[in-house]
Amino acid sequence: MSRPRLLVIAGLGLLAALAVGRLVDVEEAIREVTLPLRHDDIIRQQAAEKDLDPALIAAVIYAESWFRDEQQSHAGARGLMQVTPETARAIAEQSGGTEFVVSDLDSAQINISYGSYHLRDLLDTYDGNLVAALAAYNAGSGNVEDWGGAGLELEDIRFPETRAYVEQVLAKREEYRDGYAEDLGI
């Protein structure tokens, strides 16, 4: 084979390798935009501590804040898992916390810990019914009790926004399981 021809083949091979490398980078960038994941170490830790599916915690964070730490709702819920100060105070009291200040919810560690505690508590309250627990996380336990409590099914949720929230979390949980199994320790 002639030297110029060999150089052309080598050059094409290099271009192909670069294209594949960039394709992988593009795929990673798309995944980061469409299905972000941060704080996977804290998520794994809290999932293990509270006997929760790490993909579920990630999906709740996705639905609540899209993994943006600085989120604050019009109702005053704060952080990654959108925990309200009232809920956080109750959790701090129930879990033996000594002092709680609202700015604690800005810490990813504390926010994910409190949000996971709340999620575990709701699952226990509703006998493991994930639909009821997620609906209560979004719309409050009073509404879930009115809609059927531990027997709640998706079609029983009367608020379209809450039904869409539950559907989104359930779908994203599967996506996090598929897309981040290794990162989440699944």
Structural domain spans, the chain: 1-34, 38-184
In the 8-state DSSP scheme, what is residue 180? S
Rounded to 10 degrees, the C-alpha dihedral 106/110/113/119 comes to -40
Statement: 38-184 belongs to CATH 1.20.1440.230: no
How many C-beta atoms surround the C-beta of residue 178 within 10 A? 11
Q: What is the pLDDT of residue 95?
A: 81
Q: What is the pLDDT of residue 24?
A: 58
Q: What is the pLDDT of residue 15?
A: 55
Closest to 111 in 3D by CA, of 177, 60, 75, 161: 60
Q: What is the pLDDT of residue 94?
A: 87
Q: Long-range contacts made by residues 176-181, C-beta under 8 angstroms, separation at least 24? A: 176/35, 176/37, 176/54, 176/55, 176/58, 176/59, 176/62, 177/55, 179/31, 179/35, 180/35, 180/37, 180/40, 180/55, 180/58
Distance CA 111, CA 105 (A): 5
Which position has the token pair 């995944």? 31
Distance CA 129, CA 151 (A): 7
pLDDT < 70 positions in the chain: 1-24, 26, 98
pTM of the predicted model as reported, rounded to 2 decimal places = 0.84
Q: What is the pLDDT of residue 19?
A: 60
Beta strands in the chain (DSSP E): none
Active centre residues (catalytic): 64
